[in-house]
Amino acid sequence: MKKPLIGITVSMDTDQSFHRTSEENIQAIVRAGGIPVLLPNLETEQEIEELSNTLDGLYATGGDDINPILYGEEPIEKLGVTVPMRDHFELTIIKQFLSKGKPFLGVCRGMQMLNVATGGDLYQDIHSQHDKKLLQHTQKTLLKYGAHFVDISEDSLLYKIIGKDKIMVNSLHHQSCRNIADSFKVSGKASDGIIESIESKKHDFALGIQWHPESMLESDDGLSLKIYQEFIQACKVHAN
Ligand code: MN
């Protein structure tokens, strides 16, 4: 059977002059059985539509902060770098994918963008916008090591994939999902209440994960690889 073609969204330098992504993101797709294609941050809806029609799955990766204007807020002091070309492209292609019912996997910023694209919103900076004390979500250890636990709801796609109700994950984010669209549900949470995964109630596979499974492929006994394998499996089913 033909391997599914998986579009990978990529970062841009702050001056928007270069596209780039990590080797880990590429290898995660390759090892799970997909053919990765790095996506340029195109501008027009029609170009993006033609691109999304050629792909079997979309993998939105981590990166810079998301412009809060996209969910109706002005920037607070602790907002980091935002990259308008990437924001625009990702928002557009995620909406197209969801309307086609094609499989989507988002990690870190990719999950946050999924939430914004479906009408949810974010904490621009969890530490300055939360009343209570939070865990350290920007770990100072290498990302191949876990940092905090995530509790996974049993009635979820994520639980079906992982087969456990509690796992240790890495953490490198200062933004997070706040309100979720009605058509989505929270399937994973940290012990401080921070949302660590969301998924669609109506799509077969539209999953967002706040941690970086691509950085744990060698260090968590295959749990992270399972996420990519199930994603690729969904892409195969959809492509045929
Ligand atoms: Mn975290």
- Structure token pair of residue 157: 């796609």
Query: What string of pLDDT tens digits covers the 240 residues of the chain?
Result: 899 999 999 999 999 999 999 999 999 999 999 999 999 999 999 999 999 999 999 999 999 999 999 999 999 999 999 999 999 999 999 999 999 999 999 999 999 999 999 999 999 999 999 988 999 999 999 999 999 999 999 999 999 999 999 999 999 999 999 999 999 999 999 999 999 999 999 999 999 999 999 999 999 999 999 999 999 999 999 887
108 catalytic residue (yes or no) = yes
Calculate how far, in angstroms, residue 138's C-alpha sits from the geometric centre of ligand 1. Answer: 7
Catalogue all structural domains in the chain, each as residue range(s) with its CATH number: 5-238 (3.40.50.880)
Burial group, residue 214, by CB count within 10 angstroms (0-12, 13-18, 19+): buried
19 catalytic residue (yes or no) = no
Calculate how far, in angstroms, residue 211's C-alpha sits from the geometric centre of ligand 1. Answer: 6
- Choose, from 90, 196, 199, 214, the residue flagged as catalytic: 214
Contact 197, 187 (CB under 8 A): yes
Picking from 81, 59, 41, 39, the residue whose alpha carbon sits closest to that of residue 175 is: 81
DSSP states of 205-239 as a string?
A: SEEEESS-GGG-TTTSTTHHHHHHHHHHHHHHHHH
Beta carbons within 8 Å of 140's beta carbon, 6+ residues apart: none
Calculate how far, in angstroms, residue 44's C-alpha sits from the geometric centre of ligand 1. Answer: 34
Which H or E run includes 126? helix 126-129
Calculate how far, in angstroms, residue 45's C-alpha sits from the geometric centre of ligand 1. Answer: 33
Picking from 64, 94, 128, 46, the residue whose alpha carbon sits closest to that of residue 207 is: 94
What is residue 131's predicted lDDT score, i.e. its pLDDT?
86
Calculate how far, in angstroms, residue 80's C-alpha sits from the geometric centre of ligand 1. Answer: 17
- Choose, from 108, 196, 199, 203, the residue flagged as catalytic: 108
Residue 49 CA: distances (Å) to CA of 97, 116, 226: 9, 19, 29
What is residue 1's predicted lDDT score, i.e. its pLDDT?
80
What is residue 146's predicted lDDT score, i.e. its pLDDT?
97
Calculate how far, in angstroms, residue 3's C-alpha sits from the geometric centre of ligand 1. Answer: 32
- Choose, from 90, 173, 212, 230, the residue flagged as catalytic: 212
